[in-house]
Amino acid sequence: AKVNISIIAYTVFGARHALETLSQLIAVSSTGKSTPKTMVMVDQAKIVDKPVYRHRGLLIDTSRNYLSVSAIMRMIDGLAATKMNVLHWHATDSQSFPLYIKSRPQMT
């Protein structure tokens, strides 16, 4: 089947978000363990998408609440999938310095 896609973006970030939207229109389907996986795609769509707000982000506060590296990585993947553009990471505070620096171990 022939596929025709046009993307108009004014920045590289807009183009990246458009590609993220396209990736969300493709799904892998399987009815069971022995059934081969098949790709399911939307065959017709017109998408006009632009952000309502310039700042679309998430604040994580690891200075007060522990988060594992894998949890932080999942959040970063989620930011990309939902087209957010800001990650504000509150890593330190006056009560804590949870970042270990090998050359300055006394800081932790």
What is the secondary structure of 30-77 as a DSSP string? -SSSSSPPEEEE-S--------S-S--EEEEETTTS---HHHHHHHHH
Please tell me the least confidently modeled range out of 2-11, 12-21, 35-44, 57-66: 35-44
How does the average pLDDT of the chain come out, rounded? 85
**What is the C-alpha separation between 105 and 79, in angstroms, rounded?**
32
Task: Look at residue 49 in the predicted model and tell me its pLDDT.
Answer: 84
Taking the alpha carbons at both ends of the chain, their separation in whole angstroms is: 59
- Kindly report the pTM of this predicted structure: 0.64
Residues 34-42, mean pLDDT to the nearest whole number: 77
Res. 74 pLDDT band, cuts 50 70 90? very high
